């Protein structure tokens, strides 16, 4: 059975801040999410796997799933200890991704291939009769899609 995970995009993820960031962060403390992506050799320095993501138009995007683990070595080889997915900039550009949108990854029968899409954020409709009602809570970060 195919599984999906989605991540709400931040301004850093989409490049809206103008800063340089190496891809979107995949939290280390989410075992289900780490199992969703290919297994990496944690004893290696910065182990990685190339994943192929197919968008709704059928275009395939090679992205790099990497564990920047230099901090875990003794002596430390770097200050980083984080998983990321890189090489996403052109995909985000094609689909006009912006902060508040969501990127959705769906597994396939091949462990290094995924379906990928951008889910636009819902533009709130301001209703003059419901201004005093609380706004819906928007979850941030990664979450499974059921």
What CATH number has the domain bearing residue 43?
2.40.330.10
Distances (CA, A) of 90 to 105, 110, 135: 16, 23, 33
Q: Which helix (H) or strand (E) holds 23?
A: none
Tokens of 137: 């809570």
The answer to which of 13-17, 48-52, 115-119, 123-127 has the lowest mean pLDDT is 123-127
27-85: pLDDT as tens digits: 999 999 999 999 999 999 999 999 999 999 999 999 999 999 999 998 889 998 999 99
82: containing domain: 4-145
Task: Provide the domain count of the chain.
Answer: 1
Position 140 confidence tier, pLDDT thresholds 50, 70, 90? low
- 8 A C-beta contact, residue 15 and residue 92: yes
Name the most confidently modeled range: 11-25, 67-81, 95-109: 95-109
Average pLDDT, whole number, for the chain?
A: 87
Arithmetic mean of pLDDT, 85-94: 95
**Confidence (pLDDT) at 20:** 67
Q: Which residues contact 47 (CB under 8 A, 6 or more apart)?
A: 40, 41, 66, 67, 69
Using alpha carbons only, what angle is made at residue 12 by residues 117 and 112, rounded to the nearest 5 degrees?
Answer: 40
**Confidence (pLDDT) at 98:** 93
* CB burial readout 77-111, b (16+ within 10 A) else e: eeeeeebbbebbeebbeebebbeebbbebbbeeee
Position 135 confidence tier, pLDDT thresholds 50, 70, 90? very low
- 8 A C-beta contact, residue 34 and residue 83: yes
**Confidence (pLDDT) at 111:** 93
């Amino acid at each position: 059975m195919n599984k999906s995970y989605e991540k709400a995009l931040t301004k850093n993820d989409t490049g809206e801040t103008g800063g340089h960031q190496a891809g979107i962060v995949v939290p280390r403390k989410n075992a289900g999410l780490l199992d969703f992506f290919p297994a990496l050799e944690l004893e290696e320095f910065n182990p990685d796997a190339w994943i192929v993501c197919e968008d709704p138009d059928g275009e395939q995007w090679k992205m790099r799933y990497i564990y920047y683990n230099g901090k875990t070595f003794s002596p430390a080889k770097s200050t980083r200890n984080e998983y990321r997915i890189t090489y996403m900039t052109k995909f985000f550009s094609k689909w006009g991704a912006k902060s508040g949108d969501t990127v959705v990854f769906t597994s396939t029968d091949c462990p290094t291939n995924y379906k990928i899409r951008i889910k636009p954020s819902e533009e709130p409709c301001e209703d003059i009769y419901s201004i005093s009602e609380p706004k819906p809570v928007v979850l941030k970060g990664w979450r499974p899609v059921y």
